[in-house]
Amino acid sequence: MASLSTEPNGRKRTQFIDGNGSRKALRLGVVTMKQAEAFKVKLESLIGARITGGNVADEVTRWLADLPDDVYATLAGVGLVKARKGRAFKLADLFREFFASLTLKPGTRTTYEQTRRRLVDYFGENKPLCDIGPLDAEQWRQWMRTNEKLCDATVSKRVKTARQAFRRAGQWKMLTENPFEG
């Protein structure tokens, strides 16, 4: 269903015919032949599912979930997958929705607002939620201790509040994994 070729500059490209009979090409860039073959196998699974209307294998679904946004957008551009939703949520979006969903006492709102402010100071309000991983969460915690000179109890409180907000984001399908869990 799909074929691989190597361009004169060494980059790999795959060509296939979609369900409508149109020839499509995807440039894979500088990758090994083994990586290109693995991509081709998963691409063929997507093409087969598209033509037959069936489901793709769980392995391919997991592979799609782990793809970078630009590669996924390329697959969506040729009609093999639906465009991603929820990956574009930013830190500001999370806290806007988080505060809107809660009824808080003034003291609790102050605590939550302090956590939001620390996260925005460190990551920036336009940081995509999907780009914040467990290592980033740990670095944020260390940053509060060393740069902000907060005591351990305060840092723990901020981390707990961040964990709660990100857990809610997971429930709302704004992200797939809570970086503050654990």
With H, G, I as helix, E, B as strand and everything else as coil, classify residue 12: strand
Asked whether residue 73 falls in the same domain as residue 123, the answer is: no
- 86 is a domain residue: no
Q: What are phi and psi of 127, to 5 degrees?
A: -70, 125
In a domain, 181, yes or no: no
Residue 84 lies in a domain: no
Task: Note the pLDDT tens digit of each residue in 56-90.
Answer: 888 888 888 888 877 877 887 777 887 666 456 88
Torsional sign, CA 166, 167, 171, 175: positive
CATH number at residue 136: 1.10.150
Which domain covers residue 6, as residue numbers?
2-77
Q: Quick one: pLDDT at residue 7?
A: 87
Residues 70 and 117 in one domain: no
Q: What is the pTM of this model?
A: 0.54
Verify that 26 and 61 share a domain, yes or no: yes
pLDDT of residue 113: 94
Q: How many domains does the chain have?
A: 2
